[in-house]
A and B are shown apart, each in its own frame.
Chain A
Amino acid sequence: MIYFVRRFAVFLLTLWAAITLNFIIPRLQPGDPAERIVRRLNPNSRTVDPNQVEAVRKMLGLPDTNIFEQYLQYLQTLVRGEFGVSYSYFPFTVTHMIGQTLPWTLVLGAVTLFIGFVVGTLLGAWAAWRRNGPFDSVTTLGATFLGTLPSFWIALLLLYVCAFKWGWFPVGGGYSGDAQPGWNWAFISSAFEHSVLPAVSILLFAPIGWILGMRNNMVTILGDDYTRLAKAKGLSERRIALWYGARVAVLPNVAGLALAVGGILGGSVVIEQIFSYPGMGRLLFEALRDGDYPLMQTVFLFIIIGVLLADLVADFLYGVLDPRVRRGG
C-alpha cells in the first residue's frame, strides 16, 4: 500500500513540476507576445502601433499583473479548464480546437499502437523461442535496420507511390469534403480510406521496439534457473516458452504499453503533418509554426498529463503484476 501512496505522491509532484515548467518556458522568451502578434499581422510596417498592441492585449486577455499573480491565475484557469483563445484560429478557443483534433489522433494512435504491440510482442516471443535460428536473425536484423530509416522519408515515399502515382489512396486530409462527419457510412469509410497511409507509415515502425524488447527479456528469462528447473522436470518446449518465458517476459512490455498509451495524445507530428491528418500532432505543428502560444502550451500540457497518468498506471500495474517492485521500492 505504501508503494502506491508513495507513487501517487510522486505523480502529483511531477505533474506540478510539469505544469509549472509549462508556465515558465514561454515566459523566458524575450519580448512582448502582443507586440509580436501585431508585427506578424502587419509584416510590412516597421513601427508598432501601441494602440494596436493594447487592443491585441485586451482581445486575448493578456495579463499585465506581476508574475506570481499570473501564476495563480494560470493555475486557476487550468483547474477550470479555460485555456484561452487560439491566436491562429481566432475566435475559436484552444479547448474547441483540441476537441476537434483529439478524436482523430486517439483513433489513429490507439489502433496502430494496439496492432504494433500485439504483432511486435508475438514476433519477439517467437524470435526468442527460436533464438539464433533463421526466423530470429531475419526478425532481429530486419527490425534493427528498419529502425534506421527516417520515418518522414518512408511516409513521403508511401504518399508519393500509393497516392500520387497509383492513386490507391487520397493524398491527404481526414475525410473527403462531401462526407458529413458523424456516424454514417460515407464518412466512416472515407475517414478509413484517408487513414490507411498514415497508419501504415506508423505501423512499419511501431512493432520494432516491442520485438526487440520482448526478445531480449525472454532470452534472459529462458536462461534463468527456474526455466532450467522446468526443463529438468521434463516439460515440453512449448509449455516452457509460453508459461515460463513469455508470461514473465511480457511484463515490461505491458508496462511499456501503458506508457505508450499516454504518448498517443501527442500524436505523431511528422506523420500527421505529411498526410495533412487533422490530429493533435498537426495542431501542435501549426501552433509552433504560427507562434500560437496558448495553443502549443495547452497541447503540450495535454501530452504531459497523458504521459504522466500513463506512467502512474504503468507503475501501479507493475506493482500489481510484480510483487518484487512493491517491496523493493
Chain B
Amino acid sequence: MSMLQQGETPTVSDALPLDEEGAVEQQTRANRRFRVPGWLGILWENRKSRVGLVMLAIFLIVAVFAPLFSPHDPRSNDFAPNLDPGSGHLLGTTTKGEDIFSQLVYGARTSLIVGVVGGLLATAIALVIGLTAGYLGGTVNEVLTFFINLALVVPILPLIALLSAYAPGQGLWVVILIIGLTGWASGARLKKAQILTLRSRDYITAAVFAGEGLWQVIFREIMPNMISLVVVGFMGSAMGAIGAEAGLAFLGFGNPETISWGTMSYWANNQGALVTGQWAWLLAPGLALSFLIMALTLVNFGVDALGNPQLREE
C-alpha cells in the first residue's frame, strides 16, 4: 500500500493561486503529469520488474541508437561470406556476407516497433470494444460479445498467415496492422468483465448523478481503475505481436528483406546455418527474442502485483 502513495506526488500545493476553476484544472493536469513517473516508481519497487525495466531500457537504447551500436551497415554484403565470430565481425557474417551483429542490433528496432505499435493497436481496439460493451450493456453488449467470441475462437497464427497471404504488399506495416487487428479479443473480454464490476459501484452512480457525461464517466472515473489491466493487456499484446512477427518471418511470410530477428532466423535456417556450423547466426536472434520477451514478462510481474494485491506475496 505504501507503494501506491508514491503515485500521488503532492505538487499541487506549489501551484500559483489562480481562480478556482483554473486551480482545479491545474491540479488534474499536475496529477496526470506525475502519474507516469509514479508508475515507474511502483514498478521499480518490485525486484523482478526492476530487472525487466533495466533490460527493456537496454533494448530501447540499442534500438534508438542502432546506427551507433552497429559496426557496419546491416544490409551491406561487402564482407567475406561465412566468417566465424571473431575480430572485425563480432558474430561472424552470413552466407551473403552481411555482418550478423549489425543485423542483430537493427533487429531490435523492428521487434520494438512491432511490439509497441501492434500492442497499442490491439489494446486500443480491446479498450474501445470492451468499454463500450461493458458500460452500455444490453443489446450492444450482446452484439459486441458475439464479435469478441468470434475473434477469440479464430486461431491467430493461421489467420494472420492467411491474411498476409492475401494482403497486397508484404511490408512490415501490413504485418503489424494484421497482428494488431487480430490480437484484441482476449483483452476486450477481460476489460469488459472488469468494467461490469466497476459500473455498479457507488462512486460511478454518484458521478452520473453529478451530471458527468458518458465519456467523462468512462475515461475519468472508470479508466484510472483499469490502468493496471490495460497495461498488462498492452504488455501481453506486445509480446504476442513480437512473437507473431518473429514466427511469421521465420516461416517466410512477410518481407524477407526486412531486418528482424525473425527474418535472420529464416535466412539462417534457409541457408543451413547449423549444419555449416554458423551457430551465432541462429543462436543470436533467438536469444535476443527470448530476452526481450523475458524483459516484458518481468515488468509484468510488477504490473500484476499493482492491480491484484493477492499477488503481492513477497
A interface, CB within 8 angstroms of B: 10, 13-14, 17-18, 25-26, 28-30, 131-132, 144-145, 147-150, 152-153, 156-157, 159-160, 164, 219-220, 223, 263, 266, 269-270, 273-274, 284-285, 288-289, 291, 296, 299-300, 303-304, 307-308, 311
Contact = CB atoms under 8 A, between A and B. Distances in A.
Contact of A311 (B153, B168, B252, B291): B153
Q: What 10 A-B pairs come out closest when comparing CB atoms?
A: A153-B286, A148-B293, A160-B274, A148-B294, A29-B166, A288-B165, A307-B153, A149-B290, A152-B250, A150-B289
A153 B282 CA distance: 8
B269 A156 contact: yes
What is the predominant secondary structure among interface residues of chain B facing chain A? helix
Contact of B166 (A10, A28, A307): A28
A130 to B, nearest CB: 13
Interface string B277-304: 0000010001001110110010000000
Contacts of A157: 274
A219 B312 CA distance: 13
A245 to B, nearest CB: 15
B90 interface: no
Contacts of B166: 25-26, 28-29
A22 to B, nearest CB: 9
B310 A223 contact: yes
A307 B282 contact: no
A266 B289 contact: no
Nearest to A274: B269
Interface stretch (B19-27, B74-82, B95-103, B156-164): B156-164
Contact of B274 (A147, A164, A289): A164
A14 B146 contact: yes
Contacts of A164: 274-275
Contacts of B282: 153, 156
Contacts of A223: 310
Contacts of A274: 269
B146 to A, nearest CB: 7
13 contacts: A14-B150, A17-B146, A30-B168, A150-B290, A164-B274, A219-B310, A270-B250, A270-B251, A274-B269, A288-B162, A291-B165, A300-B159, A303-B155
Contacts of B168: 29-30
Interface string B10-21: 000000000000
A29 B291 CA distance: 37
